[in-house]
Structure 1
Amino acid sequence: MSEAEEVKMHIKVVINKEKTKVLFAEADSDFTDVLLSFLLLPLGTIVEVLEKHYGDKAPVIGSLNTLYRGAKNLDLIHFLGEDVKKELINSTLFDSELCKLRLNIRGTQLTNSSNGESYEGVFTKSAASFIITEKLFVIPSVFGSIVETLSTLGIAVEDMDGTETRNVTFGLNEIIGLLKESLISMDPLTALFFPRKLIEPTVGHVSLHQVFPEDILRNPKIMTLKVMLQKSTNKFLFAQANADFVNFLFNNLTISLGRVGWFLCSNTGLKKMDNLHVSVSSNIDSMYLKCNKELLINPDPTSINLSGKEANEYCYLNMGGSESQSYVEGSRMYMVSDDLTVAPLGVTSGLSVINQLKISLSDVEEVKLKVGLKEALNILKASLTSTTALTDGLIKPFLKEQLIKPLLKK
C-alpha cells in the first residue's frame, strides 16, 4: 500500500436522512485544499486519473476521453518528439503545488509530512475552516450566524429537522470518487452516500468580452477546417485538419480546469466545477487564502506573472494553436471525428468512414469552415459535456448562421 493510499482526512457531513441528501460539509484546510486542487488539474490529467482508477468503468467526460485516447494512440512519428508526446498525455503542470498537499490526486505523497501534523496549507491558510455545499460552493465557516449561514447556503430551516452529522474519512479512493461525481453528478457529495443523479449535458455560447480585449476580437487568429457533411441531412461525418487545429485540440488536454473556467467565464457546463471556480473568485476572501487567487481561477504557469493585455494576448494565442504550443508534425493531414478522436488522414481512411456509414459519395459535401476564437471556445466547451463536440460546438452554430443570413438580407 502506497503512502498516498494511507493518508486520511476527516470532514463533518450534515445529512438529511429522510430526503437521503447531504446538506453541507465542514472541512479543515487540508481537505479544502485538495478540493480546490481540482482547478489545477489539466483536462488530460483528469481523464488519465479516472481511467487509471476505474479502468473500463471510467466515466465518460464529454469528448475528452476519446481526445485523450486519440493522442495516446497516435504513433510517435506524428509528434515533434518523444518528450512532447509524453508531456501531453502525462502532464506535470503544477506538480510542485500538488505535491505539497496532504493527498495528491495523482497518488504521490507530501514529502515532508506524511501524517499531516505539520500541514501548513497550500491554497488556504492552515487555521481556516470552510463549509462546502452540496453544489460545491465553498465559504469560510465564520461567514455569519448559524441562521445567516444556512440562508447563504440556500438551506431551508425545515431541512435541518431530523438531520444527522457524520464524521467521514476521505482517502485517495474517496477523493477520486469525489472528482468523478463533481464532473458527472447533480449532487456530488450525496452521490458518495446515496444513488447518483446525473447532470443533463448543456452546450452553449460564451461571452468573450469578459476575457479578451477588443483588438484581439477584431483581429482573431483563424484556422481552416475542411468538414465532410452528408448533403441530405447535414450530418457531420469527419473533418480534415492541418496541424494547427490538431495542436489546438491537443493543447486543450493541457489546460487546467480552473483556466477553462476562466476562458468560459465560469460557464463550462460542468456546473459543480463552475461553482468551485466562482467560490474562489467571489466567495472566499483573500484573508483565508495562502496563495494568489489567480493561481486557482486562471492557472497557467507561463502567463501567471503576466498582466493586462499581455496576459490576454497569450491566452488568445493558446486557444488559437500558436507555434509555441505545437505537438504534431506540420506537414501531415489528420482526420478528426465528432468525438475529437484524431487519426492520420488518407484517401482510403476517409472513404472507409463514408462506406461504414453506408453513405453514397454523391451525398457527401465538403465545406470549408473558419475556426477563430469564438469557435475554438465553443468546441472547448462542447468537449466537456458532449460526445459530439464538433457537431455541437461548430456545425450547429454554423448551420444556424446559414439559416439566419438570408433573413438578414431581406
Structure 2
Amino acid sequence: MAAKEQESRLSLKLLIDEKRNRVVAAEAHKEFVDILFSFLTLPMGTIIRVTSTGEAKNPVTIGCMNNLYHGVEKLSNENWGTELCKTIVLHPRNPLGYFCQNLKVNIDDSWSNTNYLCSRKCCLMRSWYLNLRCICGAKTNMRTTDMVNNEGAFLQKGRTMFIISDDLQIRPACPILLAQLLSNLGLSETDGIREMRVQVSKDQVICLLARSLVSESPLSDVFLPNPTKHDTKLPKPEIEITLQTTEQNEAPTLNLQVTLNKSTNKILFAKATNEFFDFLCTFLTIPIGSIIHVFQRSLGLGGCLNNLYASVEELEDKWIGSSIKSAILNPRITQYHNCKKQPLKLDELIENENLIDPRPNENFAAEPSLFIVLDNLDVKPLSSASSFLILRELKVAFSDIEEQVITVGMNEALSLLKAALTSPSSALTNGLASFLQKKKQEA
C-alpha cells in the first residue's frame, strides 16, 4: 500500500518569496506540466464531482454549475432514458483519457480501455458498458481490453524543465525568463527567495484544479500556509478577442417557455422539454478546454485557466505535437455524450464507429418529459405538486407573473452557458433576460 501511495506523488520545486509568503514560480519536469494540461481535458461534470465532493478538501462553486449537477443527481431513474444516461452525465468520459492514463497523478477515473463485445460477434459491435443490446439482439458481455498508450501524456519525451508562475503561465525554463518573472513581481535579486521541494499528492492536484478555477495564485494557495494575496504576475499577451455572432439558422434551435416577474424582469423558472434538458446536460459533458475554445478565451471565468490555455496555445511544436496541442485546446465531447439538438454545434470525438449508443433514441431524458429549471439551474421533474411549491416559495403575486417563449439558438445558448459558469445564483436571468427585453421592445 505504501509503495502504491508513493507512486502517486511527484516532486516539485517551488521558489518562495519569504517576505511576502508567496510562490513566485515553480520548476517542474514534463510530468507535472502534463497534469496541469490535463485540467483542460476534464468535462465540467468531472470537475464539479472531484472538486466539490469526496476527496476535495476545499470545495469550490462554479457559477450555477454545481446546482445543475446536484439537481441532475437527485433525479430518479424514471426521468432518464436508462440508468446509464444518468451515469454518462454525472461521470462523463474524458475524450482524451487515452493520453491522461499515463499521468503521474491522475484524478479522473472516467476513462477505461475495457470494452464489451457483442456475444455473437455479429459485426464487431462493442460497448463501454456491460450488457447493452446489440443491433442483432444479443448483449455485449464479452470483455476485451484495448492496447494502452505507453508513450507518456501530452508533452514530448525529455527532461526539459518548465517555469510555472503562480497564476499558471507555463514556459520552457531559462534564466532570462525567470529573471523577468522575478522583476515583474518587484524582486530585484534572488536574496529572500528560498527553494522548497514538495511531493505533490492526488489530493493536492485536486486542490490545484479547484483553486485554478477561482484563484489567480493556486500554487501559493495549495502549498503555503496563509499565502499573501497579490496582483502582480507575468505579463499576459495583449490579445483582444470578441465573441463572433452566429446566425440563428446555422444551428439547431430549442423553444424554452419561461415564467418571469414582470416588475423585475427576473426569470423565475423555465418549463423545459426533454430536448432542452438534454442540452443542459451537455453543460456537464463538455471539457473545459472546449468551453474556452468556444468563447475564444473571452469567457471571463475566474481563476487562471485562461493562462493555462494560452500556455498550451503558445508552446512551440518541438515541445508538444501540433495534433496533441489542437486536441487539448478543443478536446470535443466524447462520443454519445452530446444531445440530438445542440445549439452550440459542439462536435463529438468519434472514438469507434462500431460503438453502441447507450442512450435510447439519442436522448438522455425519458421521452417525452417535462422539467422545471429554476433560475439557479436546479432541475426538478415537472408535476403539479412541485409547481405549487415553487410558486409558494417565490412569493410573487400571480398578477405579476408572465410567460414568454424564447427561441434558444447559438447566441442564446452561448449566453446561457456563460451565465451558468459565472453567475452564482441567476443563470437563466443573466443568460436569457436580455433576449426577453428585446422581444418586449419589438412588441
Does the TM-score normalized on the shorter chain lie above 0.5? yes
Distance across 2 between alignment mates of 1:198 and 1:399: 40
What SS does structure 2 have at the residue aligned with 1:104? Answer: coil
1:130 and 2:167 are equivalent in the alignment: no
Cα distance, 1:174 vs. partner? 0.9
What SS does structure 2 have at the residue aligned with 1:376? Answer: helix
CA contact (8 A) 1:335 1:344 kept: yes
Equivalent position of 1:392 in the other structure: 430
1:331 and 2:361 are equivalent in the alignment: no
The code of the aligned residue for 2:345 comes to L
CA contact (8 A) 1:23 1:133 kept: yes
Equivalent position of 2:309 in the other structure: 277
Distance across 1 between alignment mates of 2:295 and 2:215: 20
Equivalent position of 1:114 in the other structure: none
Going from structure 1 to structure 2, the CA distance change for 1:333 and 1:49 (only over 3 Å counts) comes to same
CA deviations 1:80-139 (Å, max 9, x no partner) are 21222212211222332221111101369999xxxxxxx953111232321111111111
Equivalent position of 2:70 in the other structure: 69
Equivalent position of 2:256 in the other structure: 225
Cα distance, 1:56 vs. partner? 9.1
Equivalent position of 1:346 in the other structure: 383
Distance across 2 between alignment mates of 1:324 and 1:240: 22
Going from structure 1 to structure 2, the CA distance change for 1:46 and 1:342 (only over 3 Å counts) comes to same
Give the % identical residues. Answer: 30
Going from structure 1 to structure 2, the CA distance change for 1:99 and 1:315 (only over 3 Å counts) comes to farther
CA deviations 1:20-50 (Å, max 9, x no partner) are 2211111101111011100111000011112
Equivalent position of 1:296 in the other structure: 328
Distance across 2 between alignment mates of 1:147 and 1:336: 52
Equivalent position of 2:350 in the other structure: none
**Structure with more of its chain in helix, by fraction:** 1
Distance across 2 between alignment mates of 1:236 and 1:107: 37
- After superposition, residues 4-403 of structure 1 pair within 5 angstroms as 6-54=7-55, 58-93=59-94, 94-106=96-108, 121-127=152-158, 128-142=160-174, 144=176, 146-148=178-180, 150=182, 154-158=184-188, 160-192=190-222, 193-195=224-226, 207-209=242-244, 218-268=249-299, 269-282=301-314, 284-290=315-321, 292-300=324-332, 316-318=344-346, 326-387=363-424, 388-395=426-433, 397-398=434-435, 401=438
CA-based RMSD of the aligned residues comes to 3.3
Q: TM-score, normalised by structure 2?
A: 0.75
Cα distance, 1:150 vs. partner? 5.0
Cα distance, 1:361 vs. partner? 1.5
Q: Mind listing any 5+ residue stretches in structure 2 that lack a counterpart?
A: 114-149, 232-240, 336-340, 348-359
Cα distance, 1:230 vs. partner? 1.4
What SS does structure 1 have at the residue aligned with 2:404? Answer: strand
Distance across 1 between alignment mates of 2:417 and 2:283: 7
CA contact (8 A) 1:4 1:103 kept: no
Distance across 1 between alignment mates of 2:410 and 2:165: 34
What is the total number of aligned residue pairs between the two structures?
373
CA contact (8 A) 1:135 1:187 kept: yes
Distance across 2 between alignment mates of 1:65 and 1:76: 20
What SS does structure 2 have at the residue aligned with 1:136? Answer: coil
CA contact (8 A) 2:208 2:218 kept: yes
The code of the aligned residue for 2:346 comes to N
Distance across 1 between alignment mates of 2:361 and 2:334: 11
What SS does structure 1 have at the residue aligned with 2:267? Answer: strand
The code of the aligned residue for 1:75 comes to S
The code of the aligned residue for 2:75 comes to L
Q: Mind listing any 5+ residue stretches in structure 1 that lack a counterpart?
A: 112-118, 200-205, 304-312
The code of the aligned residue for 1:368 comes to V
Distance across 2 between alignment mates of 1:168 and 1:181: 18
Cα distance, 1:401 vs. partner? 3.9
Q: Answer with 338-347 or 5-14: which moved more.
A: 5-14
Q: TM-score, normalised by structure 1?
A: 0.81
CA deviations 1:190-233 (Å, max 9, x no partner) are 1121436699xxxxxx8443xx8x6x655332211111111222
What SS does structure 1 have at the residue aligned with 2:280? Answer: helix
What SS does structure 2 have at the residue aligned with 1:327? Answer: coil
Going from structure 1 to structure 2, the CA distance change for 1:226 and 1:98 (only over 3 Å counts) comes to same
CA contact (8 A) 2:211 2:303 kept: no
Cα distance, 1:238 vs. partner? 0.7
CA contact (8 A) 1:100 1:110 kept: no
Distance across 2 between alignment mates of 1:110 and 1:229: 45
CA contact (8 A) 2:259 2:404 kept: yes
CA contact (8 A) 2:344 2:414 kept: no
The code of the aligned residue for 1:393 comes to G
Going from structure 1 to structure 2, the CA distance change for 1:176 and 1:232 (only over 3 Å counts) comes to same
The code of the aligned residue for 2:412 comes to E
The code of the aligned residue for 2:87 comes to K
CA contact (8 A) 1:103 1:109 kept: no
Distance across 1 between alignment mates of 2:186 and 2:381: 56
